[in-house]
Amino acid sequence: MLKIERNKELAPFTTLRIGAAAEFFAVLKSRSDLEAAIIWAKEHRKKIWILGGGSNVLISQEVRGLVLKNEIKGSEIVERNDDYALVEAKSGEIWTKFVNFTVQHGLYGLENLFLIYGTVGAAPVQNIGAYGVELKDVFYHLKAIDLKTGHEKIFSARDCRFAYRDSIFKHQLRGRYFIYSVTVKLKRQPDFKLDYGSIREELLKRNIKEPRLRDIVKVIEEIRNAKLPNPALSPNAGSFFKNVEISRAKSEALLKRYPDLPHFSASGGKVKIPAGWLIEKAGFRGKRIGPVGMHDKQALVLVNYDGASAKQVLAFIKKVKAAVKKKFALDLEEEVNIL
């Protein structure tokens, strides 16, 4: 039986530990719970909002309607041959647990995405990525439930319209579907991506010349833990801003002014500039205003140090964006979803 609560505080369900109340709230444990929630929302004429791990969201005001906390979990290998395996995970599964599942079964492709906070269902919405790998690189399809009709639809990678930290679910189909499960296609043989960030360097420090799957995961875990604050100890939403993609001509002009500007090739002939570097050079690495600040080891991560409000966070990020705009004439865009 689906239990629906009224005026439920949402801060405890977000990694930023910030959030107003939900008018109505329920936890989903199964597909039948979801079906019951859709019927209830239709009968009461309430909009449905989906909350996964709460790791990529800032809730700035009361949420009118029914908020569904997704805890529908489970992972399984649905097909396997000598070359690849198809692995499906329910959308409420913790992403890192899913990556661990694939690693334990000796499947290659998700290892660079280890220790990204959040759930499987959020992964295609954001097209999550790290260390030179994005979800779209291994994505096979997803199953989604229409929140108006309750009907299931399968989305291919093309249907999802993946882009950098972007998908159709953030725009045209925002709020329309509940992502029920995600299936990825992983290789049975090693195909490591080691040249982004300091992965190869860290492996060499450990005298690992022929890394195994578990070696890659261990190194990435150590790199991330050294750079990024644990949300359980320092409430944060991970990378608050997207890296900036600009034209090659604009990047060349910037390089003349800033020869140490880090830059990487991006799709469509564009150049990607790390937002963390821009924020640091604009003077905001480790800078705090009241209870809000950018982390001292990773300027891309905004931290709620001491009971910050959504209003204080919004005011702070406005200052960060203005400083970067003034120094580099570049616009930062939030990666975090702001409700």
Phi-psi sector, 106: left (phi>0), alpha (psi -120 to 50), beta:
left
Nearest CA to 5 among 91, 85, 68?
68
Three-class DSSP category at 135: helix
Contacts 24+ apart (CB under 8 A), 191-198: 191/108, 191/109, 192/108, 192/111, 192/216, 193/112, 193/131, 193/132, 193/133, 195/132, 196/112, 196/131, 196/132, 196/133, 197/131, 197/132, 197/223, 198/223
Token pair belonging to 49: 């909002």
pLDDT in tens, 145-155: 999 999 999 99
pLDDT in tens, 226-275: 888 989 889 999 899 999 999 999 999 999 999 999 998 888 889 999 99
Nearest CA to 92 among 73, 79, 114, 115?
73
pLDDT in tens, 172-228: 999 999 999 999 999 999 999 998 778 999 999 999 989 999 999 999 999 988 888
- Which residue spans of the chain are classified as CATH 3.30.43.10? 5-70
| pLDDT band, residue 126 (cuts 50/70/90) | very high
Q: Which residues are catalytic?
A: 165, 239, 335
| CA pair distance 322, 279, nearest whole angstrom | 10
The contacts of residue 32 (CB under 8 Å, 6+ apart) are none
| CA pair distance 90, 167, nearest whole angstrom | 19
292-294/271-273 β-pairing? unpaired
- Which residue spans of the chain are classified as CATH 3.90.78.10? 236-338
| CA pair distance 282, 294, nearest whole angstrom | 12
| CA pair distance 337, 318, nearest whole angstrom | 15
Q: Do 265 and 204 form a contact (C-beta atoms < 8 A)?
A: no
236-239/301-304 β-pairing? antiparallel
Token pair belonging to 268: 């469509």
User: Among the CATH numbers 3.90.78.10, 3.40.50.150, 3.40.50.720, 3.90.230.10, which is that of 236-338?
Assistant: 3.90.78.10
Nearest CA to 299 among 288, 307, 312, 290?
288
**What mean pLDDT value characterizes the chain?**
94
CATH architecture of 5-70: 2-Layer Sandwich (3.30)
Domain 75-187 has CATH 3.30.465.10: yes
pLDDT in tens, 155-176: 999 999 999 889 999 999 999 9
Highest mean pLDDT among 51-65, 135-149, 258-272: 135-149
